Amino acid sequence: MKIEMILNGKPLVAEALTDMVLLDFLREHECYSVKRGCETSNCGLCTVLVEGKPILSCSYPLARANGKSVTTLEGLQDEAKEFGGFMADEGAEQCGFCSPGFIMNVLAMVSEFENPTDSEILTFLSGNMCRCTGYEGQLRAIKKYLAYKGAEK
């Protein structure tokens, strides 16, 4: 099947298997930030943005991405580096395996909510699993990042 999309801001036309999921296609196209975790849509490691909305690429049929804009962490390096600094400052990054999916969700949340409550933040990020932390450092990092982004405006 022929797939056409905008991948990280660049047009891409490629051939793919009809039963392929977006995760496999992205990794074939050198988007290695997209991790394979549970493959059951429960961990958030494979989170990418499709048309600016976070989706779990392990269960998203590639055909649904045809004609759409898909963004991975590779396409958001500046934003990821900026937020990643807040995570590091709060001790919220230990092994880092969950970070790409987590950062993708945080960046999507920032564009969707102007001033989310703790409850809204936790609900929005509930699909991201981290085996190393207790999420408190991540919540502190998000709140400081949101305050920083609000001060920029």
pLDDT digits 0-9 by tens, 74-113: 999 999 999 999 999 998 877 777 888 999 999 999 888 8
Note the pLDDT of residue 131: 75
Note the pLDDT of residue 28: 97
Note the pLDDT of residue 96: 77
pTM over 0.75: yes
| Low pLDDT (below 70) residues in the chain | 151-153
**CB contact at 8 A, 131 and 138:** no
Note the pLDDT of residue 46: 94
- Give the 3-state secondary structure of the chain: CEEEEEECCEEEEEECCCCCEHHHHHHHCCCCCCCCCCCCCCCCCCEEEECCEEEECCCCEHHHHCCCEEECHHHHHHHHHHHHHHHHHCCCCCCCCCHHHHHHHHHHHHHHCCCCCHHHHHHHCCCCCCCCCCCHHHHHHHHHHHHHHHHHC
Q: Which residues of 3-14 are buried (b: 16+ CB within 10 A; e: fewer)?
A: bebbbbeeeeee
